[in-house]
Amino acid sequence: MAARARFSLSPFYFFLLNAFLYLPLLLLVIFSFNDSTSLVFPLRGFTLQWYRDLMQTPELIESVVNSLLLAVGSGLAATVLGTLAAIGLVRFRFAGRGLFLSITAMPLVIPSVVLAVALLIGLIQLNVPLSLWTVGLGHVVISLPVVVMIVAARLVGISATLEEAAMDLGTTFWGAQWRVTLPLAMPAIVAGFLNAFTTSFDEFALAFFLIGRQPTLPIYLYSQLRFPSRLPLVVAVAALIIAGSVLLIIFTEWLRRWGSEE
């Protein structure tokens, strides 16, 4: 009887969980079309004014461009470095391998605020001016461990005999990696890049401490929350980010299925 009761409650629990997670996002999208600066019901009317205002706000456009440049640049850097590190960890046995893995994984357990303060102190000591480059450095640091874990998990499932067969046919070790291993691991590499991209795009703590005069999108949105009249603009931006995130999730699911078919 108890087992049946638990089973009968599972759809209700699933419904509550999804409502708790997604209902606020749905409300955010609805309010982005509200013809009022107040986020309350009933809605005053339907409008696209807030979305039109997005294209007429140079500071917002600049922050979006900065965030996209940071996300692509730091994502690519973290993907390249993480892939090389994963190859070294999976394919080689060397002294200090465990220590290297522990150091690589440290940003996963260190709070972002603590890491941001540490990087800020280090950059000040080196007399490095704060800019998008320093923010990108911080984003690479926090994205690198996740890329290493994702790619390494894929490399473990790729037999080393395939690389040995390629080398027997005349190629070098790195030639075998380029022609055999990397194509097989490409779904994981792309997944690692997408993870690094999203981490960089919405990261706030590191950007807050390491940014110079060029704001990122999270920094800009945070600054606008002080002004009630700007709240609808922030909501419209959030709605567009939600739409982009949904498309990214769909693409990631397609990529996962493509990888499993391989």
Amino acid at position 230, single letter: R
Using a 10 angstrom Cβ sphere, with 0-12 exposed, 13-18 middle and 19 or more buried, the burial of residue 240 is: middle
CB 214 within 8 A of CB 223: no
CB 85 within 8 A of CB 191: no
Tell me the pTM: 0.79
Q: Which residue has the tokens 């107040």?
A: 38
pLDDT tens by residue, 1-38: 455 555 566 777 778 887 888 788 888 888 778 777 77
- pLDDT averaged over the chain? 83
Amino acid at position 122, single letter: G
How would CATH label the architecture of 63-216? Orthogonal Bundle (1.10)
CA distance 167 to 176: 6
| Predicted confidence (pLDDT) at residue 66 exceeds the cutoff of 70 | yes
| Predicted confidence (pLDDT) at residue 118 exceeds the cutoff of 50 | yes
Q: Which residue has the higher pLDDT, 256 or 50?
A: 50
DSSP class of residue 37 equals S
pLDDT tens by residue, 135-171: 999 999 999 999 999 998 888 888 888 888 888 888 8
